[in-house]
Structure 1
């Protein structure tokens, strides 16, 4: 709908409303005018009768004049009363109409979505320009606002074409670039439901799952990549992704298999290759260091007791419904997989939470494998460990001591942008 059509509809509705308000008054006014004309005709007829009666000698001239004057005075009084009533009715009607109009305008400007409508229109207008930049390979020139506009425009297009699998896939990629992992996964899953065999969509799905930092989604990404590699075993990009996700899951055998496939095809100083080599060595050392049978010391379990509180200035930003997520990551590496995590519905602060090896997401990766832990307390509207804009967060680093549960306090004092 164009703005011109919108304004025409609004003007028509206002005119219709004013007509409904004024219609009873207009009908009453017409009735009063009709009554006044009828009364004048009656008075004229009576005056003519008085003239005839006086000429026939039925009444005297004095009586005729007196009766005539009385009729004229009565007509004047009645006309004055009608005009007074008309003036009296106009004032409250006018005040009521103006008040209703003002209330309507105030309510409209308080509850309308014109700013959002304008934003959608701006996004749609920007779509041709952004599409040309994408086609020309100039996506690196996009800023966050451009990406948001593109995502919004695609969403509008998908309302009219909900079965467009490519549209859903592109929307998922855009959400992923904005750090909106949950929305990205949902959009790509919509694309897969429409076209489950699309290789590009399956790759995008694996990428979206990998950035969440959740073990369950890592495992799902590994399953998707296994299917893709069974169809394209020589695809080095897929092999690299499989090596990365397997390393995050602590799957040493699979990591080694795909690391061997890609290690000679990347530069020696490649950061990803270096991180994979370090993670693979770490996993192999863990396998060698695991005690066997009676050598296993169950008393050497490390852990943390964490008291979580929130800064005063952030209390007003607490969601009505949300989750408190407390987790530990390796502070000495870039591995973002949580070694332990606890999730709970929001409750009154301060809250005490205990993290131990029992809270590990994977049996092969827990607090026992860490020397230094990054402890994070996050408040989110969903239970996803992956951060989202608007999440409230606090963190600290702590040493992991075997066989000890140390106590710490985390104050949630910042909001993620």
Structure 2
């Protein structure tokens, strides 16, 4: 705010300079002297004309005309006493009154039409941006009020105007807009963040969330592709499953929505307060479908032994096998290597052959392998692990600790 008022003072001083310049600038000529020279020249020209007219017999009273000419010349020269008695205003008086009038009119006009209160509020919330951001990100503090959310959006917009390459700043603005149900701002901010950092999973999820708010089918399809990509990259976040389930329900694909909701139940467990809410969503989808749907998903926790050296490139291959039958996998999936420990979820969407289902298994074994060359048929040097045989529905965990 100090910078703003300083700039107004500078502009006002510049206005004073424009007033003072014509008042105090030294004239390069003398008006009285120029008038006298002009009168003398006129007097001489008129005398010559009278001489010519007298010689031609046109003028007979030359002396009287010369007297009149001299009288008119004297009348054009102000008397000294008239100059002394005349009223004059000093340039300093004119400058002082004009400068005062300029300052009063300028600041009075701005105070009425310049939205001074809004500018002051804007400047104040810019200074409060760190505190508002900390309050937003701190779960132990009270949530921001509606006015504070609007203030935070305005402050973030101001900062991003000067720092347009801050992907995390655009992400934060998009999240605030999502909380405020401002679809246009959310989509625009998330798109900028995605353009700046398209590989960041949080940015990808935020962009998908904003696109899901749109009524445009093409944008919703793009959002689904982003979310599926996050699942393929093993980005385990309940919001990904929740968004996919809700979108499937809106499209009338109730079986798919049920599959995602049941996967969420597997991840959170029956002790979580959200488990019963997901049950109600599943029951509602089954009611819309007109039948009960049985889907099975298997969450698998994978850890890596400390002796395992993870390659810079490669994939994690996870497969489910019938514990009592053929070693050919019933279901399988590939993931980026990522970090460990981690949890992946396989379901009937990962079955290898039509007609098969994970739910048909009474017991199962899970195998995981870190494929270093991208070719699943070669195993030389690959690290792998295998779970114990477990009954369907039991927790599955394994450790990768062996090498081919």
Normalization by structure 2: what TM-score? 0.51
Partner of 2:400: none
2:290 is paired with a residue whose SS is helix
Asked if 2 retains the 8 angstrom alpha-carbon contact of 1:168 and 1:187, the reply is yes
CA shift digits 1:341-360 (9 cap, x unpaired): xxxxxxxxxxxxxxxxxxxx
Asked if 1 retains the 8 angstrom alpha-carbon contact of 2:24 and 2:91, the reply is no
Once the 2 structures are TM-superposed, how far is the Cα of residue 167 of structure 1 from its aligned partner? 0.9
Asked if 1 retains the 8 angstrom alpha-carbon contact of 2:170 and 2:190, the reply is yes
Partner of 2:106: 104
| Closer, same or farther: CA 142–243 of 1 in aligned 2, 3 Å | same
Q: 2:290 aligns with which of 285, 289, 294?
A: 285
| Closer, same or farther: CA 132–169 of 1 in aligned 2, 3 Å | closer
Asked if 1 retains the 8 angstrom alpha-carbon contact of 2:265 and 2:278, the reply is yes
| Closer, same or farther: CA 285–102 of 1 in aligned 2, 3 Å | same
Asked if 2 retains the 8 angstrom alpha-carbon contact of 1:247 and 1:276, the reply is no
2:128 is paired with a residue whose SS is helix
Distance 1:7 1:134 in 2: 32
Distance 1:248 1:108 in 2: 52
Distance 1:276 1:103 in 2: 66
2:142 is paired with a residue whose SS is helix
Structure 1 stretches lacking a partner, 5+ long = 40-69, 287-417
Asked if 1 retains the 8 angstrom alpha-carbon contact of 2:167 and 2:192, the reply is yes
CA shift digits 1:99-147 (9 cap, x unpaired): 6555434443344253343223211221232344345433533222222
Once the 2 structures are TM-superposed, how far is the Cα of residue 184 of structure 1 from its aligned partner? 0.7
Q: 1:23 aligns with which of 5, 21, 24?
A: 21
Q: 1:276 aligns with which of 270, 277, 281?
A: 281
Partner of 1:166: 168
CA shift digits 1:126-183 (9 cap, x unpaired): 1232344345433533222222232222222222221111111011001111221110
Higher helix share: 1
| Closer, same or farther: CA 271–215 of 1 in aligned 2, 3 Å | farther
Q: 1:262 aligns with which of 261, 264, 276?
A: 264
Distance 2:159 2:194 in 1: 18
Asked if 2 retains the 8 angstrom alpha-carbon contact of 1:243 and 1:276, the reply is no
User: Which is greater in Rg?
Assistant: 2
Whose relative contact order is higher, 1 or 2, with alpha carbons under 8 Å and at least 6 apart? 1
Asked if 1 retains the 8 angstrom alpha-carbon contact of 2:183 and 2:210, the reply is yes
| Closer, same or farther: CA 272–247 of 1 in aligned 2, 3 Å | farther
Asked if 1 retains the 8 angstrom alpha-carbon contact of 2:187 and 2:210, the reply is yes
Residues 1:6 and 2:8 are matched in the alignment? no
| Closer, same or farther: CA 259–212 of 1 in aligned 2, 3 Å | same
Normalization by structure 1: what TM-score? 0.50
